[in-house]
Structure 1
Amino acid sequence: MAKKRKKRKEIKRKLLHKYRLVILNENTFEEKISFKLSRLNVFITGSLFIVCLIAFTTLLIAFTPLREYIPGYSSTKLKKQATELTYKTDSLVTVLNYTNKYLDNIRMVLNGDVTNNKINRDSLFEQFKIDPSTIDLTPIKEDSVLRAQVALEDKYNLFERSTKNINQILFSPINGTITQEYDPNKKHYAIDIVAPSGTPVKAVADGTVIFSEWNTETGYVIILEHKDGLLSVYKHNGSLNKEQGEIVRAGEVIASVGNTGELTTGPHLHFELWSNANPANPKDYIDFK
C-alpha cells in the first residue's frame, strides 16, 4: 500500500510540478515572455483545444455550404438541381432533334432534293380499319327523318353554292408568262414565271420568313412558312425586302424579280410550293392568269 501511495504522490507531483516556458531574444538573450506551466495544465488546455476544434469543424460543415465539397456527402438541394437539369436536358435534346429535322427539310427545299421512299400514310391505319360487313348499316328512323329534312332544305336553298376548287386558296406571287411548268420527272419542282426586272414579288399567303439570304446557285432566295406545313419558295430575286423572322401578310411585297444566281437564264421568278417537306404543284393551289 505504501508503494502505491508513493507512486500516486509521484504521479501527482509530476503532473502539478511547475515548469517555466521562456521566450528569449536570440541575439541579446533578453527575456521576452515567460509562462509557468504544468503537465496537467498542458493536458487540459490541449484537450479543450481539440474539443473546441472538433465542435467548430462540425458546426462549419453542418451549417455552411462547405459540406457540399466533402466527397460522398449527399445534398438534397443538389439532387433536386440535378433532377431538374436532367429534365431540361431531355427537353433540349427533343427540341434539338425537331430543329434538326426542320433544318433538313429547309435544306431539301433549297437543294430541290426529294426522298423517293415516301411513306404511305394510309397503310399506317390498316390495322384499325373496320370491316363494313360486320356492322349493321340499316338507317334508323331518326336518321331517315333527318335526311329527308336536309334534302328538303337544300332543294329550296336560294343561295348559290361556290364551285371553286378549295385548293386554290393562295394569291399569285406575280403576273407574267409561265415558261416552264412543274415537272417532277425532270426534278423541276417549281414553275418559272417571266416578268420584267424589278417587278414586285408578293407573298402568296400569311406567313413567317424563315430564310432570306443569298445562294450561289439560285441568287437571292426567300422562303415563307405558312400554316398546315406549307412552304413557299421564291428564287432568283433581284432584291429582298424582308428579313428572317419577320411576319408577312398575303399580297405583301417581299422581293423583286431579278436575274441572280448561276442557274438563272434571265429575269424570272422560280416559284416552289412544299407541303410537309414534299414538293407540290403550285397550280393546284394558285390560279395563274
Structure 2
Amino acid sequence: MAKKVKKRKEIKRKLLHKYRLVILNESTFEEKISFKLSRLNVFVTGSLFIVVLIGFTILLIAFTPLREYIPGYSSTQLKRQATELTFKTDSLVNVLNYTNRYLNNVRMVLRGDIENTQVNRDSLFEQFKLDPANVDLSPIREDSLLRAAVALEDKYNLFESNQETGTLVLFSPVSGAITQEYDPEKKHYAVDLVAPEGSPVKSVANGTVIFSEWTAETGYVIIIEHKDGLISAYKHNGSLSKGQGDLVKAGEVIASVGNTGEFTTGPHLHFELWSNGNPVNPTDYIDFK
C-alpha cells in the first residue's frame, strides 16, 4: 500500500515539477525569453491545441469548397450544372414537342391531310349546344344585371363584348360570294370566296400567325392559330401583310385577295378552318352573306 502511495506521489511530482524553457542569444548567451513549464501544462496545452486544430479542420472542410477534394464528397458545382442541364433538357423536350405539333398542323393545313377519314363536322356552337327542356330559363339577378350592361354597350362593339364573356366570334375574312362549297368527299376542305383582286383579307378572330410564306401550289399563304385549337388558313393571296409570330386581332387586315399559285382559277380567297387537327366547314362558323 505504501508503495502505491509513494508511486502516486512520484508521478504527481513529475507532472507538477517545474521546468524553465529559456531562449538565449547564441553569441552573447543573453537570456531573451523564458517560460516556466511543467509536464502537466505541456500535456494540457498540447491536447487543447490538437482539439482546436481538429475542430478548425472540420469547419474548414464542411463550409468551404475544400470538401470537394475529399473522396466521397460530390462537387457542388457539378450538382448545380447537372440540375441546370436537367431543366434545360426538359425545356428542350417541351420546345421540340411544341415544334413538332406546330409543323404537323402546318403540314396538314398546307397539304389538306387529315388524321382520319371521319371528319367531325360539328361546329363549336353544336359542341356547346344545350337542350332548352333541361335548362332552367327563369331569369336571375346576375342575368338582369348582364342584360342591363349589354343594353348600354355600343351595338357595333360585338367582338369586344364577346371577348369579355369568353365567346369566340368569327368574322368573314372577305366580302364576296362563295363559288365553291366545302366538300370533304372531293378533299376540298375550304370555301372559295370570289372578290376583286387586291381586296383586303381580314383575320376571322384574334390569334397568332404561325405561317406566312409563298408556296408553289397555293401561292401566298397565311395561317393563324386561334384559341380552343382553331386554325384558319388563307390561300392564293396576292400579298401578305403579316409575318410569322405576329399577333393579330379580329378584323385586322392580314393579306390581299390575289390569283397566285398553280391551283388558282382566278382572283379569290381559298379559306379553311381546322379544329384540333381536323378540317371543319367554315359556313358552320361564319355567316358569309
Query: TM-score with structure 2 length normalisation?
Result: 0.58
Is this contact kept in 2: 1:168–1:285, CA < 8 A? no
Q: Secondary structure at the match of 1:242?
A: coil
The verdict on how the C-alpha distance between 1:226 and 1:151 changes in structure 2, with shifts beyond 3 A counting, is closer
Q: Is 1:104 paired with 2:109?
A: no
Question: How far apart in 2 are the matches of 1:226 and 1:263?
Answer: 26
Residue 79 of structure 1 deviates from its aligned partner by 2.5
Give the equivalent residue in structure 1 for 2:179: 179
The structural deviation recorded for 1:77 is 2.1
Gapped regions of structure 2 (runs ≥ 5): 1-63, 121-134, 148-166
Q: CA deviation at 1:83?
A: 3.0
CA distance in 2, matches of 1:151, 1:245: 43
SS at match of 1:209: strand
For residue 269 of structure 2, give the secondary structure of its aligned residue in structure 1: strand
Unaligned runs of 5+ in 1: 1-61, 121-146, 160-166
Aligned 1:261-272 pairs, distance under 5 A: 261-272=261-272
Q: Is the contact between residue 216 and residue 262 of structure 1 (CA under 8 Å) also seen in structure 2?
A: yes
Show the counterpart of 1:253. 253
The Cα of 1:87 is off from its aligned counterpart by 3.3
Query: In structure 2, do the counterparts of structure 1 residues 84 and 263 end up closer, same or farther at CA, with 3 Å as the change threshold?
Result: same
2:288 matches 1:282: no
For the 8 Å contact 2:177–2:288, the answer to whether it is kept is no
Identity %: 70
Q: Give the equivalent residue in structure 1 for 2:220.
A: 220
Shift of 1:206: 1.1
**8 A Cα contact 1:238 1:259, kept in partner:** yes
Quote the residue 2:116 is aligned against. 116
Go from structure 1 to structure 2 and tell me whether the alpha carbon gap of 1:253 and 1:153 turns closer, same or farther (over 3 Å shift).
Answer: closer
Q: Which has the higher contact order (CA 8 A, sep 6+)?
A: 2
Q: Measure the CA separation in 2 of the matches of 1:260 and 1:151.
A: 51
Deviation at 1:95, TM superposition (A): 2.8
Residue-by-residue CA offset, 1:170-194 (whole Å, 9 max, x unaligned): 1111111211100111111000011
The CA deviation string for residues 20-45 of structure 1, in whole angstroms up to 9 with x for no partner, is: xxxxxxxxxxxxxxxxxxxxxxxxxx
Task: Tell me which residue corresponds to 1:81.
Answer: 81
The answer on whether the counterparts of 2:177 and 2:194 sit within 8 Å (CA) in structure 1 is yes
The residue that corresponds to 1:236 in the other structure is 236
1:204 paired residue number? 204
Equivalents in 2 of 1:184, 1:119: separation in Å? 8
SS of match in other structure, 2:255: strand
Indicate if the aligned counterparts of 2:220 and 2:238 stay in contact, CA closer than 8 A. Answer: yes
Q: Any idea what the Cα deviations from partners look like across 1:143-182, whole Å, max 9, x if unmatched?
A: xxxx9xx67659xx998xxxxxxx9831111111211100
| CA distance in 2: counterparts of 1:94 and 1:277, whole angstroms | 19
* Residue identity matched to 2:205: A
Change (3 A) 1:151 1:251: closer
Q: What is the TM-score with the length of structure 1 in the denominator? A: 0.58
Residue identity matched to 2:107: R
**Aligned twin of 2:273:** 273
Alpha carbons 1:168, 1:287 under 8 Å: kept: no
Q: Do the aligned partners of 1:168 and 1:284 also contact (CA within 8 Å) in 2?
A: no
List per-residue Cα deviations over 1:117-159 (Å, max 9, x = no partner). Answer: 6699xxxxxxxxxxxxxxxxxxxxxxxxxx9xx67659xx998
Give a deviation string over 1:248-285, Cα, whole Å, max 9, x none.
11111111100000111111000000111110100000
Inter-partner Cα distance in structure 2 for 1:210 and 1:88: 24
CA-based RMSD of the aligned residues comes to 3.5
Per the alignment, in what secondary structure is the counterpart of residue 95 of structure 1?
Answer: helix
Which whole-Å CA distance do the structure 1 matches of 2:119 and 2:281 have between them? 19
In structure 2, give the amino acid aligned to 1:171: F
| SS at 1:220 equivalent | strand
Kept after mapping to 1: 8 A contact 2:221/2:237? yes
